[in-house]
Structure 1
Amino acid sequence: MTFYEGKKAARQRLIVAELGLSPAVRTSDLARRLGVSAETVRRDIEELTQRGLVSRTYGGAAGRQLGLQPVFQDRNTLAVEEREVIARAAAGLVKPGDVIMIDSGSTTARFAHVLAETAVRITVITNCFAVANTLVTQHHVRVLFCPGEFSSHERGVYGSETCAFLQRFNADIAFIGASGLTLEGPNDVETQACWVKRTMIGRAERKVLLLDGSKFNRRHLELVCPLAELSDIVTDRPPDPALVARIEASNVSLHLARDRSVPAEA
């Protein structure tokens, strides 16, 4: 692979990742962010359209929303500041001695980095390689890693063995991510991931959803659970009034991560 081809692949991964978070993007905005010409971006979009990954539109591109999600590595480069403040707010919910479950995702992976700095005497049960890799060297954290089939796309393990393993344990808190949140509840692209999230929710006293505000009112392939099955949502900005009203009606606590250390409830 030539150096140019490597740069092109990186650009195209970022375009697909952007469309995993926004319904559509403009060619001019992508060109400015990538530091290339609009014509280069148009060629990238045309190639991605031919591969069925995006849909070319007038002046830009649209994502194939319901069943497509960027790979873990690409998601990890987006909404970095938002994930940081969410992670620090969520870490404030963890107490010494807690048993927590953490599913696989870019936001939960960032959450694990914060836990490595702040948590003391906790047990973490996870299916996420990044979470386990971050916490396993911490002497004050016990890590139990799930068995299952490894997904390079999601950087985690999934399947019946994973869910059966999780069923053996009780947890104080389950921390999950999601591709979107609607009035119905959290949703996701990956069916296998949904089963892991549901299993973790079913084994924990407290069920916490971590997601940034770009995912509000975003629909994807599969509903994870009804909104009322959650106990908390930690996010970086307020949802729209209709979603706030449904969250309140479902008796779910909304934590707005307004700074890097203290979660604020709305």
Structure 2
Amino acid sequence: MLAGQRQTMILDEVRRTGAVRVSDLVARLGVSDMTIRRDLDALARRGLVDKVYGGATAVGGRSIDEPGFEAKSMRQLPEKTAIAEAAAALVRPGTAIGLSAGTTTWTLARHLDDVPDLTVVTNSVRVADALQSAGRADRTVVLTGGVRTPSDALVGPVAVQALRSLHLDVVFLGVHGMSPRAGFTTPNLNESETNRALVEAATRVVVVADHTKWGVVGISTIAGLDEADVLVTDDGLPEAAAGELRERVGELVTAGRPAAAAAAAEVGA
């Protein structure tokens, strides 16, 4: 078994149970204690687990925890792909749209290559790069200024001021968490203010969030659940949560994982 496959299995177990022991992984995977410790070191360096004595735990769930872009980009890849494909179908040619920072919106940006005549406003360098890589002459990409966060968002007064002067047909908003009480949230206070400015600039708000965001609460609310005209999520969302969201958001779109992505996930599991 390759190191990458082994680390994927370890990470899946950490996310399923919340913690793993080195001794248990040695027995399960049939490799040495030292190999498992190297795997945990590699996962910890990427911000995917927290190393503890004798094993590792899931990355802390505090309301101010903010994983880096690379750590988040490795999570729920098939789900994000499905969400991005469903969200891309909502984008109309000749419109002005906004994309917040985040790995789900970054994935969405990579699915917009076939949409002509777009003007896209974003506060993410990563999203802007993905949009520019399509090489479309009929596309305008506007990048706000601001201070960069650990998740590669540009935030603060410069970003907010730029957004307050704009009017967008639709904004696609990535979030850290969503819950009935707190709504759509983020662990970064400055990012919350910037995302609120994006929401205020929009005629229509589409939130893109995979099922693991349900029940997660960041320190600051971006918007209430009822402020989302559309919520695009994946089919891993519990039915009880889906029922509650249908009552609160304008429209709930549930995207099934593409066959190729699901097969890849099974191979890596």
Per the normalisation by structure 2, the TM-score is 0.77
CA displacement 1:36-73 (0-9 Å, x = unmatched): 7556656858xx7xxxx848488642432122122001
CA contact (8 A) 1:55 1:64 kept: no
Question: What is residue 18 of structure 2 aligned with on the other side?
Answer: 24
In 2, Cα distance between equivalents of 1:103 and 1:34: 40
CA contact (8 A) 2:146 2:154 kept: yes
Matched, 1:94 2:91: yes
Question: What is residue 219 of structure 2 aligned with on the other side?
Answer: 221
Structure 1 unaligned runs (5+)?
Answer: 1-6, 262-266
Question: What is residue 182 of structure 1 aligned with on the other side?
Answer: 179
- Change in 2 beyond 3 A, CA 1:40/1:115: same
SS at match of 2:203: strand
Task: Give me the identity figure in percent.
Answer: 25
SS at match of 2:217: coil
CA contact (8 A) 1:180 1:188 kept: yes
What letter matches 1:24 in structure 2?
G
In 1, Cα distance between equivalents of 2:128 and 2:96: 14
Matched, 1:68 2:50: no
In 2, Cα distance between equivalents of 1:32 and 1:109: 38
- Change in 2 beyond 3 A, CA 1:33/1:231: farther
Matched, 1:244 2:238: no
Question: What is residue 262 of structure 2 aligned with on the other side?
Answer: none
CA displacement 1:132-179 (0-9 Å, x = unmatched): 11222322211111011233x222311111011001110111111111
What letter matches 1:232 in structure 2?
V
Equivalent of 1:171, from 161, 165, 168? 168
Shift of 1:22: 6.8
CA contact (8 A) 1:177 1:209 kept: yes
Equivalent of 1:196, from 187, 194, 197? 194
What letter matches 1:108 in structure 2?
T
Shift of 1:98: 1.2
In 2, Cα distance between equivalents of 1:201 and 1:177: 11
Question: What is residue 266 of structure 2 aligned with on the other side?
Answer: none
In 1, Cα distance between equivalents of 2:16 and 2:121: 31
Deviates more, 1:153-162 or 1:132-141: 132-141
CA displacement 1:205-226 (0-9 Å, x = unmatched): 1111111112221222222211
- Change in 2 beyond 3 A, CA 1:138/1:179: same
What letter matches 2:174 in structure 1?
G
SS at match of 1:235: strand
What letter matches 1:182 in structure 2?
S
Per the normalisation by structure 1, the TM-score is 0.77
CA contact (8 A) 1:89 1:260 kept: no
In 2, Cα distance between equivalents of 1:169 and 1:240: 37
CA contact (8 A) 2:231 2:249 kept: no
Please list, as runs of the form range in 1=range in 2, the aligned pairs for 1:95-134 lying within 5 A after superposition: 95-116=92-113, 118-134=114-130
What letter matches 1:172 in structure 2?
D
In 2, Cα distance between equivalents of 1:30 and 1:172: 50
Shift of 1:33: 11
Question: What is residue 267 of structure 2 aligned with on the other side?
Answer: none
Alpha-carbon RMSD across the aligned residues, in angstroms, is 3.5
- Number of residue-to-residue matches in the alignment: 242
- Change in 2 beyond 3 A, CA 1:161/1:31: farther
- Change in 2 beyond 3 A, CA 1:35/1:231: farther
What letter matches 2:131 in structure 1?
L
Question: What is residue 75 of structure 2 aligned with on the other side?
Answer: 78
